[in-house]
Amino acid sequence: MTRRGLCGGIALTLTIACAGCDGGGTPTSPTENPGTVGATITIGTNGVVSPKEVTVTPGSRVTFVNSHNAPHEMTSDPHPEHSLCPSVNQVGHLAVGQSRTSGNLNTPGVCTYHDHMNDTNINLKGTIRIQ
């Protein structure tokens, strides 16, 4: 390889390696407004979501906490498409003791959700109002 080809390859490698840095050597994430957590919904030890209904402002997120002794997979209605509120689908699988937060709920309206693994259980269904 020629000196010019070698140097060009090194420069390209350094450019790619540093593309994700903020100048201090720390990798950065995409700049996305994470929104504020507007509500927390807990799946209790009894396997029931509480509160069943929450209201948040546009741009907020909702945190789901699994305090039950079984895993759950929280997704938006309808089942199985999960198309009503795709931001809720970001919660997804919740292991025992785990909590996860939805994406930003930007559009005013009503989002209903359920546990994908137990979609007919009314104890695992609820409503998020965005207003």
Asked whether the bond before 86 is cis by omega within 30 degrees of 0, the reply is no
Instruction: Return the exposure string of 75-84: e unless at least 16 CB atoms fall within 10 Å of the residue's CB, then b.
Output: bbbeeeebeb
**Model pLDDT, residue 13:** 41
Whole-angstrom distance, CA of residue 76 vs CA of residue 3: 57
What are 88's two structure tokens? 């809720």
**Model pLDDT, residue 33:** 53
Quick check: 39 and 102 in contact, CB under 8 A? no
Q: Where does the pLDDT of residue 5 fall: very low under 50, low under 70, confident under 90, or very high at 90 and above?
A: low
92: left (phi over 0), alpha (psi -120 to 50) or beta: left
Whole-angstrom distance, CA of residue 71 vs CA of residue 69: 7
Fill in the DSSP letter of residue 23: S
- Tens of pLDDT, residues 73-127: 999 999 999 999 999 999 999 999 999 999 999 999 999 999 999 999 999 999 9
Sheet holding 92-94, edge to edge: 53-56, 126-130, 109-115, 72-76, 92-94
Domains and CATH numbers, the chain: 37-130 (2.60.40.420)
Quick check: 41 and 51 in contact, CB under 8 A? yes
- Tens of pLDDT, residues 29-43: 333 456 799 999 999
Quick check: 42 and 49 in contact, CB under 8 A? yes
**Model pLDDT, residue 15:** 41
- Tens of pLDDT, residues 39-74: 999 999 999 999 999 999 999 999 999 999 999 999
User: Global pTM?
Assistant: 0.74
Mean pLDDT within 10-37: 48
